A and B are shown apart, each in its own frame.
Chain A
Amino acid sequence: MQRVSIQTEDFDLGAEVAALRAGDAGVGAVASFIGTVRERIEQQGDGQHEGQSVSEMELEHYPGMTERSIEHMIDEAMRRFDIRAARVVHRVGRLAAGAQIMMVAVAAAHRGQAFQACEFLMDYLKTQAPFWKKETTPEGSRWVDARVADDAALARWGIAAGNATGAAA
């Protein structure tokens, strides 16, 4: 089954999970995550964007590299965790406030490995997959800043992200 989809259309988590575990009687746990467009920008470090409302978001990516990098992440998750299957769907283009942006689902025999692999994939994707978000607010459009906390999240797994804070090497 296809593991990675980059698409403009919305997705149905229920249908994706059903397909992910179809025909595998060894699956006893599925963990999933959905990211959505937040309508209100949380307080930023500079204090300038506090409480602005997001009316729309535009997602850009690097076609080809995006798919390749997420395939690599799933390979890495399969090596690190005892999981049976994983699926990542990420939308690009214009997304309205409240819309679904992306999902990760992981099937495993037991929940522990499913939860961990799901979180690992999210931490990896946040800092290593070439997507960029641009938010539109009543004050205008702005590119979203990368967060140092996301680099720290990947570091928990022993991987230097080098995203928000610059190259790790």
Chain B
Amino acid sequence: MPMPVQIRFFASLREALGAHEQLQVPQGATLGEVRDRLIACSPRHAEALARTRTLRGAINQVMCDEASVVPEGAEVAFFPPVTGG
């Protein structure tokens, strides 16, 4: 059963892909699998989310590694390394 997840992008990813999108992923998908599904969406996604780029991800507003499982209805975010302070 596919489940919907809300995707958010920030900084350079937001400029390339927009701030929000919704995606259907299989139950039990990991953060890395969500990234792969996004990469398959369009050449623009493939470029912005390419595996050669260091990106970070969050599930429900907590930093997570790509092996983390995405729960149903989660808010998933991808963004470049952070540069605050």
Contact = CB atoms under 8 A, between A and B. Distances in A.
A15 interface: no
A14 interface: no
B54 interface: yes
Interface residues of A, number: 35
B66 interface: yes
B83 A146 contact: yes
B65 interface: yes
The A interface is mostly helix, strand or loop, or mixed, namely mixed
B12 interface: yes
A169 B30 CA distance: 14
A65 B82 contact: no
B65 A130 contact: no
B11 A35 contact: no
Interface size class of B (residues with CB under 8 A): 20 to 34
Contact of A146 (B10, B62, B81): B81
Given A68-B61, A128-B63, A102 B80 contact: no
A144 interface: yes
Interface in A38-73: 59-62, 64-65, 68-69
User: Looking at B10, B12, B85, which has the most chain A CB atoms within 10 Å of its CB?
Assistant: B85
User: Which of B14, B61, B77 counts the most A-chain CB atoms under 10 A from its CB?
Assistant: B61
Which has the most chain A C-beta neighbours within 10 Å: B10, B12, B62, B83? Answer: B83
B56 interface: yes
B15 to A, nearest CB: 9
30 contacts: A59-B84, A60-B10, A60-B11, A60-B14, A61-B84, A62-B58, A65-B58, A65-B61, A90-B84, A102-B84, A122-B85, A125-B85, A126-B82, A126-B84, A127-B82, A129-B82, A130-B79, A130-B82, A131-B82, A132-B12, A132-B80, A132-B82, A132-B84, A133-B83, A143-B11, A145-B81, A146-B83, A162-B65, A164-B54, A166-B54
By Cβ-Cβ distance, the 6 closest A-B pairs, closest first, are: A131-B84, A146-B81, A169-B65, A65-B61, A132-B11, A126-B85
